Amino acid sequence: MQRKNNLTLGYLAVFFKLSLSFITYPLILHYLSGVEISVYLLFISTVSLFELLDFSFSTNLIRYFSYANAGVININNLKDDAGSHKNPIQENILFLNLLNLSRLFYRYMCIVEFVLIGGGFSFYLYFFAQQHHYSYLYLELNWLIYCGSFLLGIYFMYYSPLLIGSGNINDVNKISLISKIVGVFIQIICLISGLGILALVIAALFTTIVERVLLYLFLKRRNLICNKKSNDKQEVWQLFKQVWHTNYKLGLMSLSWLFISRFNSYIAALVTKDINLLTSYLFTLQVISILFSISNVPINNNFADISAWYIKDKVLATKLFLSANRKSLQMMLMLIIATILFGNYILTLLRLHSKLLDLKYLIIICFVYLLEKQAINHTVMISVRNEVPMYKAYLLSALGVLIVSLLMAFILHLGLISFILPQLLVQAICNYWFWVKYNLSKDNISFTQYYKTIFYDFDKGR
């Protein structure tokens, strides 16, 4: 397998992907009111549900398109079938079935998400507007444009998995980088022009359009996308059942984690009457989430390779994972230390009215997300093994966070700590350590050996 994997390019792509809410934050904090900033941060939290509601279908697509690229035509016989199919990828029945299945899946998913999430948040937005005495129609218009831009991206969601699974992750990152730079440029112009929150949603729409058009043109040029359909609808249905067997579990786990990490922001938006405190809390969550996403790059960039090598050489797959995990955790640690030490100082230097939370709260949130990063990394590797035993634990944790948060906020009246501490308390019971141990046990790696690999490569770590 000859795959080029540029980690620096991956970091740049993710950085600019998140730059619409990171690079231009100084302008956002300067030109937008506290209510508009809070609404925009709620927009970001809500649209993150869109991609998660694919129930990890896109993640599995990367894995299966990678198998098809290697010649696999039957995912039930990966080891025996790998490399046996010599025809071009467009003639591979697995490839054709995946392509047609993904088109149908995302078409219907857009409709469902528009009704459930688009309509649901519009209902929530009505009460938010009343709570803070703001124009509901203005906020709803911005929401519909922002929501529409993400649904457009989801309709053609399979473009990226198709390219990544075919070994073209660098090209995906380049296209992502170009589209996000265009989005940042448009956002800056619109903000300076005084368009307010409308500047942010217009930039999101243009970013999606540019990215999907470039991806489509690249796919056509590489002859990786075609209109040819499989004649056997039964095979497509069978493939869907095979994919869905792991998809629904991964999806439930992803939704549970999103609920665990984002639920409190919605409660805080309704309970907290101090708009400055609310903005600081939501702003802090968004900044840490950006750091979390940047630290995902080593795992995401190597996911297709780890999945492909797991079929042929499990030792090499483990080495790739531990190396990616090391880089991911080191990156997360460096970023949160920099945020704790210099975050508010930089905001003060820029004379911006919004700041991160007080140091004690900031340290707790950073510590929580560092533990989350390690746990999520290992659940990714468990899914590569085609196992998803952790979804029940995450569902129970989501319920636990809900109960503890409501208890602290409405009965004990503990204030801001009610939105920070429950995630740490509940997740520490199981998810922060058990799934790390579970994954390591598959390769007979002890905790002592594992923590050495955070500083050294796999062989030295052992």
The Cα-based distances of 85 to 61, 70, 75, 251 in angstroms read: 19, 8, 13, 31
pTM: 0.71
Predicted confidence at residue 22, as pLDDT, reads 56
Predicted confidence at residue 74, as pLDDT, reads 61
Predicted confidence at residue 352, as pLDDT, reads 62
The pLDDT tens digits along the chain (462 residues) read: 445 556 666 666 666 665 555 567 677 777 877 778 888 878 887 887 776 677 778 877 887 787 777 666 666 555 444 444 444 454 567 778 888 888 888 888 888 888 888 888 888 888 888 877 788 888 888 888 988 888 888 888 888 888 887 777 778 888 888 888 888 888 888 888 888 888 888 888 998 999 999 999 988 887 767 655 555 677 777 778 777 777 788 888 888 887 888 777 777 877 777 777 887 888 888 788 888 888 988 888 888 778 777 767 788 889 999 999 999 999 999 999 999 998 888 777 766 666 788 888 899 999 999 999 999 999 989 988 878 899 999 999 999 998 998 898 888 878 788 888 899 999 999 999 999 999 999 988 988 889 888 887 656 445
**Domain ranges, ordered by start, for the chain:** 1-230, 236-462
Predicted confidence at residue 194, as pLDDT, reads 82
> Whole-angstrom Cα distance, residue 286 to residue 208?
21
Tens of pLDDT along 188-224?
Answer: 888 888 888 888 888 889 989 999 999 999 888 877 6
